[in-house]
Every structure is written in C-alpha cells, then in structure tokens.
Amino acid sequence: MVKYKERFNKYEKNRWTGLTISLCIVVVFYMLLSNIGNFKAFFNSFFTITSTVIIGAVIAYTVNPLATFIYKHVKKLIKKNDNAAWILSATVSLVFIIAFFVGLIVIITPMLVENITTFAMGLTGYMNSLKELVLSTDLDQDLKLSITGFIDEQSNLPAIIINFVFSNDITPSGVLQFSASLGANAFNFIIGVILAFYFLIGKKKLVELLAEFFYLVIPSQHFENFKDVWNKFNSIFSRFIVCELVDALIVGVVNAVFMFAMHMPYAVFCSVVVALTNLAPTFGPFVGAFICAVILLLAEPHFVIPFLVFTLALQLIDGYVIKPRLFGSALKVPAFLILVFLVVGGKIWGVPGVLLAIPLAAILSYIYRVIAVPWLTARKKAKDAGKAQIKADGKVKEEVNAEKK
C-alpha cells in the first residue's frame, strides 16, 4: 500500500498526469451525455418492472416517520413486547395516511369535477371573447390570424382531453387498452399498499441485514463515514418528502381560502393546481400561478392582478417562513446546484428527477462539506508540510556545503 502511494505521488508530480486524468473525465462525461437516451430507457424499463415494489417502498418510507412517532408513545403502554408495539404503530399510521388521502379525494373530487365541467362549458365563450380582444388590437393582420387560429385549436377542450387520454386512438380497442391500463395501475397501487405494510413490519430486520451487508463490504476505516452519510441521507429524504407534502397542503388550503373569500371562480381547481405544482422546486409555483392566471384571464380578467399579487406574497411567506420551519437546516443547498440537478434530473428521470433534485443536491452538498473538504484540506496540509520539509532539507544541505567550502 505504501509503495502504491509513493508511486502515485511520483506520477502526480508529472504535469501530464493531471492533463490525462482531466481528458479521461471529459471523455467519460461526453460518453454519458451521448448515451443519455440509453440510460433513460434502461431506468424506465427498470422502473416499469419494479414499479409495484417501488410504490410499496415509497409509501412505507413516507409513512415511517409517523409510525416512528406513534411507536415512541405506544411502547410506553406495551412495555413487554416491542414487536407488537411496532406492528400496531405501523398499522395505525398506514391506515391513518390512506384514510386521510382517500377522505381528501372524496371531498375535493365533486367540487373539482364541477369546476372542470363549468370551465369546459364556458370555454367557447371565453375563447370568443379572447378572439375579439385580439382582433381589436393594432397587431399585424397575419399575426392576428395566427393567434386566432391557435385559439380555435384550443377551443375544443373535450377533443383535446380525449386525444390526450387515449393517445389519438379513439377506438374500441384503444378504450379497452386504456381501461385495462387504468385497472392494472389501480391493482399495482393496492399491491403496493400491501407491500408497504410488510416493509414497515419488517423494517428492523431489513435495516439489520443491510447494516450487516455494508459492514462486510465496506472497509472498516470508511464504514463510519458511510454510516454518517447514510443517516444524513435518510434524514434529508424522509424530512423532504413529508415536509413537501405538508407544505403543498398548506399552500393549497391557504390559496383556496383566499379565492373563496374573494369569490373567485374555479377556486378548487386552481388550488389543486397550485398545491401540485408547489411540489416541484424553484419553477413549480410560477408554473401553477401562470396556469391559474390564464384561467382567470379567460373567465374574469379583473381577478388576475389580485391573484398574482396574493400568489407572490404567499410564495414569499412559504419560502422564507413556512419551509425554513418545516425543513430546518437539513436542506441548505446552493441555488446553482439545485438548478443543475433540476436540469439533469429532469432530462434523465422526468418529473421524479425534478421532484428529487433538492434532496439529491443536499446529499451531494453534505458529502462535499463533511467528507471531501476535510480530506482535501488534510491532503493540502500534508503536501505543504512535505514541500516545507524539502525546502528545509535543501537549506540544511546548502549550509553544510557552505561550511565544508
């Protein structure tokens, strides 16, 4: 090992070594970018095959913080049997989360359907008003025709929805295929919930098996660092998922309260859009605000400015008050790193890559601060000390030679 280090230090002094390593990194990075489609296809195939297991793991991971919280209180009541206390906690937490979301869907769905139906019925009138507004402007005639033609294409909302849902295959076989796909997805979700329950019950054994495996595979001198990174990884991801859902729910409810208080149209639909787009970091809230502003512009234009002002104020409060209190100091990530992960994650994994951009960037930032920086600092100090020692030895030799002369 010592000879290997000495050989590496010898090569490291050669100026061609750094150039060669840099060129290798550039070539590897270029190959990754060139074959990004193949990587994406591989990941899509992998996720398709393991989708049910992934659904179960995601549900279990999301429910786990609540199960852990309940377990801390239940085990005080069931002192003699920790296993029974954990099974009870996992069952209660899973049933509570599922019942909460089912109840939320049952409450929101009728109002959401009513909003969408009303908007679809009034879309023709909205589009005609918009066309009249465009024709009344002083724009170029060809530009007016292009804009009005685009508006006419978007006016047939039912046809657009049908084409989107059935992928332009509006035939008995297409409808049957869509129904079969919908049924398969529902079945996979039910199986995923069952798997989530078993994942939660077997959590302790699974953690013990993974810990034993990594302890045997990873060198002893690096195991503690790996364990710290894994614990931080788990903390960031679990807090991120739970807090993102809570934050989206808060923003959606506050938006609904404001729109109902102001008697704005399509309050439920706009609030659902705002809540869902709020899950996407950085650009999500702006996309949601734009969609809702367009809907209000078509329906009742005088509500657009108040809505945008309120949305801006809500996002400022959310970004500087709500999220810091929910996330704490776990997600201190540079903005440029989030943007890089947003672009790369979106290209490779699509929507999931965008949603997971912040926690992945937080993990990388943590590894850099806690592991890479101390290692590089110690390495630099060792190099500086070595150079200082060489200079000192050189001075001593010069003094000895001078004395001899």
pLDDT tens digit at each of 405 positions of the chain:
444 445 545 544 455 555 666 677 667 666 666 666 666 676 667 767 777 888 888 888 888 888 888 888 888 877 777 788 888 888 999 999 889 888 888 888 888 888 878 877 777 777 777 777 777 777 777 777 777 777 766 656 555 555 555 555 555 665 566 667 777 778 888 888 888 888 888 888 888 888 888 888 887 777 777 787 788 777 777 777 777 888 888 999 999 999 999 999 889 989 999 988 888 766 778 888 888 988 888 888 888 899 999 999 988 888 777 776 766 555 666 666 667 777 777 666 666 676 677 777 777 777 777 777 787 787 788 777 777 777 776 676 666 666 665
**Of 129, 178, 183, 184, which is closest to residue 151 (Cα–Cα)?**
129
Q: Which domain holds residue 162?
A: 51-217
- Residue 158 maps to a domain: yes
- Which residue blocks in 156-201 are alpha helix, DSSP H? 157-166, 172-201
- Residue 325 maps to a domain: no
- Residue 226 maps to a domain: no
Q: How many angstroms separate the CA atoms of 344 and 336, rounded?
A: 12
- Residue 316 maps to a domain: no
- Which residue blocks in 78-156 are alpha helix, DSSP H? 82-135, 141-155
Query: Could you tell me the CA-to-CA distances from 206 to 55, 60, 241 in Å, in that order?
Result: 17, 13, 21
**Of 80, 52, 96, 78, which is closest to residue 199 (Cα–Cα)?**
52
Q: How many angstroms separate the CA atoms of 356 and 45, rounded?
A: 19
Q: How many angstroms separate the CA atoms of 149 and 14, rounded?
A: 66
Q: How many angstroms separate the CA atoms of 251 and 50, rounded?
A: 33
- Residue 104 maps to a domain: yes
Query: Taking each helix axis from N to C terminus, what angle separates 141-155 and 82-135, rounded to the nearest 10 degrees?
Result: 140
- Residue 194 maps to a domain: yes
Q: How many angstroms separate the CA atoms of 346 and 353, rounded?
A: 5
The C-alpha R_g of the chain, in whole angstroms, comes to 29
Q: How many angstroms separate the CA atoms of 8 and 2, rounded?
A: 10
Contact call for residues 293 and 121 (beta carbons, < 8 A): no
**Of 299, 322, 321, 326, which is closest to residue 238 (Cα–Cα)?**
326
Q: What is the pLDDT of residue 8?
A: 46
Q: Which long-range contacts (CB under 8 A, 24 or more apart) does 245-254 make?
A: 245/62, 245/279, 246/326, 247/278, 247/318, 247/322, 247/323, 247/326, 248/275, 248/276, 248/278, 248/279, 249/275, 250/318, 250/322, 251/275, 251/278, 251/285, 251/314, 251/318, 251/322, 252/278, 254/314
Q: What is the pLDDT of residue 1?
A: 44
User: How many CB atoms sit inside 10 A of residue 203's CB?
Assistant: 17
Q: How many angstroms separate the CA atoms of 235 and 219, rounded?
A: 24
User: Is the C-alpha dihedral spanning 226, 229, 231, 234 positive or negative?
Assistant: negative
If phi over 0 gives left and psi between -120 and 50 gives alpha, with beta otherwise, what is residue 264?
beta
Q: HSE-up of 288 (CA within 13 Å, CB side)?
A: 26
Q: What is the pLDDT of residue 393?
A: 67
- Which residue blocks in 13-81 are alpha helix, DSSP H? 15-34, 36-49, 51-77
DSSP conformation letters of 285-349? HHHHHHHHHHHHHHH-GGGHHHHHHHHHHHHHHIIIIIHHHHHTTTT---HHHHHHHHHHHHHHH
Q: How many angstroms separate the CA atoms of 14 and 11, rounded?
A: 5
pTM flag (> 0.75): no
Q: Which H/E stretch holds residue 361?
A: helix 357-367
- Residue 213 maps to a domain: yes
- Residue 87 maps to a domain: yes
* Total count of domains within the chain: 1
Query: Could you tell me the CA-to-CA distances from 162 to 116, 168, 276, 328 in Å, in that order?
Result: 14, 8, 22, 44
